[in-house]
Chain A
Amino acid sequence: MEPREAEIDSLLRRSMAGPVPSLPPDFDQRLMREVRSGWRPLDRYRRILLTGYGLTSVVTSAVVMRGQGLDWGAISVMILGPLALVAAARWARRATYTTIGHGAQ
């Protein structure tokens, strides 16, 4: 190794050292539960179909609510509220495993 490469090698060793993360011990069990539940990835066609369905639902809901006399603020809350709840639940689930070095050696 050339001297300048040895310098950067030593810097990388010092700088990148840190706790090594590992999977939570129940990862395999959780995964196998998903597998047994018959999970299937969405193919491109189904993904487009589902997105189209979602967008159509949102637009239709907005038009109907507007027709009922609701203002745009209320309509936004009604549509974005459930989405925010889903995002929050997803975030909370992730936060459970967010400890850096979770299961670190």
Chain B
Amino acid sequence: MESDSQLVARAQSGDQQAFAELVRRYSALVFRLTVSILGREFIPEAEDVAQEVFLKVHYAIESFRGEAEFSSWIYRITFNQAVNVKARVRFRSPHADETVLYQAVSPGPGPYRQAETAQRDQALAECIQTLPEIYQSALRLYYWLGAGVGELAELLGVPENTAKSYLHRARQLLHGMLKERGYSCD
């Protein structure tokens, strides 16, 4: 199997098959990173962002000098693009409310318990949205998209220990915020 740098070199000389192979290799990862930043309410936008990222990469691939890994480069472009789009769409009404989706997958045993759980989940979703972008992304990748710490570190472009510390810090912050709002975590 050809390495990324070989494919990049071929793509730089105009080989579209090579670029198509890079798309095949990275499209799912770029989409996962985008979704982790935009959240589950903006999945169609995430698809648009993924497309824009690859179009930008295609446009700029000639200027890629290989000083960093191709993967780091594309994830950095993705992160910046998704954060920019998030700043634009955050005030738009979401396609589906995050809490509705939570309720759909985690019903409680009875109506009272269910309502209580839904309220707490909504509070949690609101708290998550106040965290720094990088923490939000780390939480969604790890808890929703099922990424391991290794994948998390790769997508966010940080060492594994830093990725772990993002999760640790995010959990601490969330615990404090929920407690302030009068919710317990058990």
Contact = CB atoms under 8 A, between A and B. Distances in A.
Contact of A31 (B23, B121, B168): B23
A24 interface: yes
B145 interface: yes
Consensus secondary structure, chain B interface: helix
Contact of B143 (A13, A19, A34, A35): A13
A36 B15 CA distance: 11
Interface residues of A, number: 37
Contacts, number: 117
A85 interface: no
A61 B185 CA distance: 60
B59 A100 contact: no
Contact of B20 (A20, A32, A95): A32
A97 B44 contact: yes
Interface stretch (B2-10, B48-56, B66-74, B148-156): B48-56
B144 A18 contact: yes
Contacts of A34: 51, 55
A17 B31 CA distance: 18
Contacts of A10: 185-186
**What size tier do the contact residues of chain B reach?**
35 or more
A27 B47 contact: yes
Interface in B18-36: 19-20, 23-24, 27-28, 31, 35
A40 to B, nearest CB: 6
A23 interface: yes
Contact of B186 (A7, A16, A31): A7
A35 to B, nearest CB: 5
Interface in A9-39: 9-24, 27-28, 30-32, 34-36, 39
A73 interface: no
Contacts of A4: 175, 185
A88 B54 CA distance: 25
A66 interface: no
Nearest to B140: A16
A8 B175 contact: yes
Given A4-B175, A27-B27, A40-B59, A15 B101 contact: no
5 contacts: A4-B185, A16-B144, A21-B40, A28-B24, A102-B43
Given A23-B47, A97-B44, 4 more contacts: A8-B171, A8-B185, A17-B143, A21-B43
